[in-house]
Amino acid sequence: MTSPLSRNLFSLAVALAAAAPTLAQAQSLPYGDMTGSGTGYGAGSRDRAAADAADDGDDNGDAPRRSGKPRVKISPYIEAQQVVFAELHPGKETLTYSVVAAGVDAALAGRNNQGSVSLRYERRFGWGNKAQDSNVVSGIARVSSAVVPGTLRIDAGAMAARNAVESNGSLSSGGLAFGDSVTQIYSVYAGPTLTTHAGDVAINGAYRLGYNRVESPNAIPVAPGQPKIDLFDDSVVHNASLHAGVKPGDVLPVGLGVGAGYNREDISNLDQRVEDFHARADATLPVSSDLSLVGGVGWEKVQVSSRDALRDPLTGNPVIGKDGRYVTDKTAPRQMAYDVEGLIWDAGVLWRPSRRTALEAHVGRRYGSTTYYGSFAYAPNNRTSLNLSVYDTIAGFGGQLNNALASMPTQFEAVRNPFNGNLNTCVAATGSVGSGQSACLGSALSSVRSSVFRSRGVMASYSRSGERLQYGVGLGYDRRKFVAAPGTVLAAANGIIDENYWIAAYLSGRIDRSSSFSTNVYANWYQPGDAAIGDQRGVGATAAYYRSITNHLSVTAAVGLDGVTREDLVDIWSTQAMAGVRYSF
């Protein structure tokens, strides 16, 4: 049976799909508008690049436009599959499953309302004593709506995914995601964004409320002598910002602005808390028609705190609950793990040589040290998108996942594993493909350790939707330096640096009027900073063939290979084959 949480989130995702015409897109606004042009930093020139490309008359594509009559597409379906799973190493066991699934893919594209939803529920029946029954809810949704066009919009997003947890806390999202070490991950957010003017002054504000949860797996493979990894449970995230500014030429030759932002994440594990408040002033100096110098200075206060675990009165050892996580001592005082307060600044460039290309690059000081961040977006038409982002933030697992979800485009097609229906790392962006937003969640889903961390990294994605072929690739690097209070059970994690390199790619297309294919590959290399935990490498590939029998009925055949190699534990390799039938309404 599905858990109450699974049923609640399934209902939530259905509600998001039904409410798509009345919901809207949010932006993460870490610093406010650097240009005073009326768009937040998170919704700056890179967002406008592809919106312009989508409006060009020579886009030679069929992606939805933001003008005219809204285009709505809703595709519910039911599906039955027979899956054979064969373990290649370390054993030679073969398992068989029967699968029944139901889902819906929906898209809305209009001037004021946009959104995409992909939701799937799957019930897997195992044949024999060793093949376990299971339930899976997977999906992703991003919807946006202008409540007051040009002034107020409301946005929401949600995702659910099933992943296997490794001994070092890292995640594996391939075909191995069925077993005792599997967990279900959920994330949801919603909030308004305000854009208005008071004379020449552009005023922008945004608020986002998010919730994230990781269900505890039954067992995690641990090598002898390896320390316990505390897995993330759940968190609530608040993100708010406000900015006012004038653009260059309206009042002065230089654009000026002031703004403030507040971010807070409350993590249930040991009552960890992240609080970040900043206020700053910024300026924009045009150098040419397509190049501007930008900079800002301000003040910031960042704190990370937690409580200790409840201790056994006889042994002094931390108490572990039924869910495998440390039990928080609610009577223990809150202890500070990170406390930085003082001057922040940054300087950079904004370059926009055409309506289809935008670059931001910044260097400065934040979190008590040097910081780098920026983005590049290229949208030659509404079929093609190239995006690059460099980031630096302090958050927990839930805060990073919420940020990644909020950065997804509102127009996409989910790329799924054909064997378990799980979402791949990246989606295939459509319509607003060049909106300057990320189309991958890879970095956010690298590890589910409960400790707060400072995350720095880079992520790039490219996608192309042609007449017969659709393809894309995403890759990235994520460096997490964990922060934990001394004297607590998590103190051993303080200062540890985990690194993750990942890549994911897909290629799909039509073979003829009645048949099509899809292929997916992924690879990741996870390097934990704890010397007692070895490196892990994961690879996988799938290939599927689809054949339409009637307008509503189709059949599928697929094969796949997945593997995980680990320094301190046995390697696992498996292959799968599947045949299925789907009825689309």
Per-residue model confidence as pLDDT tens digits over 180-198 = 678 889 999 999 999 999 9
Peptide bond into 90 cis (omega under 30): yes
pLDDT higher than threshold 60 for residue 23? no
pLDDT higher than threshold 50 for residue 25? no
At 439 the pLDDT is 67
pLDDT higher than threshold 80 for residue 10? no
pLDDT tens-digit readout, 65-77:
444 577 889 999 9
pLDDT band at 261 (very low <50, low <70, confident <90, very high): very high
pLDDT, average across residues 516-543: 86
Architecture (CATH level 2) of domain 10-584: Beta Barrel (2.40)
Closest CA to 423 of 159, 234, 188, 180: 159
Task: Enumerate the domain spans of the chain.
Answer: 10-584
Q: Rounded mean pLDDT of the chain?
A: 83
At 193 the pLDDT is 96
At 174 the pLDDT is 56
Judge contact between 23 and 16, C-beta under 8 A.
yes
pLDDT, average across residues 129-154: 90
pLDDT higher than threshold 50 for residue 199? yes
At 51 the pLDDT is 41
Indicate the burial class of 332 (C-beta count within 10 angstroms; 0-12, 13-18, 19 or more): middle
pLDDT, average across residues 455-482: 91
Q: Say what percent of the chain tops pLDDT 70.
A: 82
pLDDT band at 530 (very low <50, low <70, confident <90, very high): confident
pLDDT, average across residues 296-311: 96
Strand, helix or coil for residue 57: coil
* Predicted model pTM: 0.83
At 62 the pLDDT is 37
At 176 the pLDDT is 53
Dihedral of the alpha carbons of 84, 469, 405, 480, in degrees to the nearest 10: 80
pLDDT band at 131 (very low <50, low <70, confident <90, very high): confident
Strand, helix or coil for residue 55: helix
Judge contact between 27 and 202, C-beta under 8 A.
no
Distance CA 409, CA 14 (A): 19
Closest CA to 30 of 269, 373, 306: 373
pLDDT, average across residues 75-101: 91
pLDDT band at 532 (very low <50, low <70, confident <90, very high): low
pLDDT higher than threshold 80 for residue 222? no
Distance CA 578, CA 172 (A): 21
At 381 the pLDDT is 85
At 475 the pLDDT is 92
pLDDT band at 492 (very low <50, low <70, confident <90, very high): confident
pLDDT higher than threshold 70 for residue 78? yes
pLDDT higher than threshold 80 for residue 97? yes
At 60 the pLDDT is 39
Strand, helix or coil for residue 169: coil
**Range of weakest confidence among 20-24, 240-244, 387-391, 504-508:** 20-24
Could you list the beta-strand ranges (E) of 287-383. 291-306, 335-354, 357-366, 369-381
At 34 the pLDDT is 29
pLDDT tens-digit readout, 533-544:
778 888 999 999
pLDDT higher than threshold 90 for residue 303? yes
At 48 the pLDDT is 38
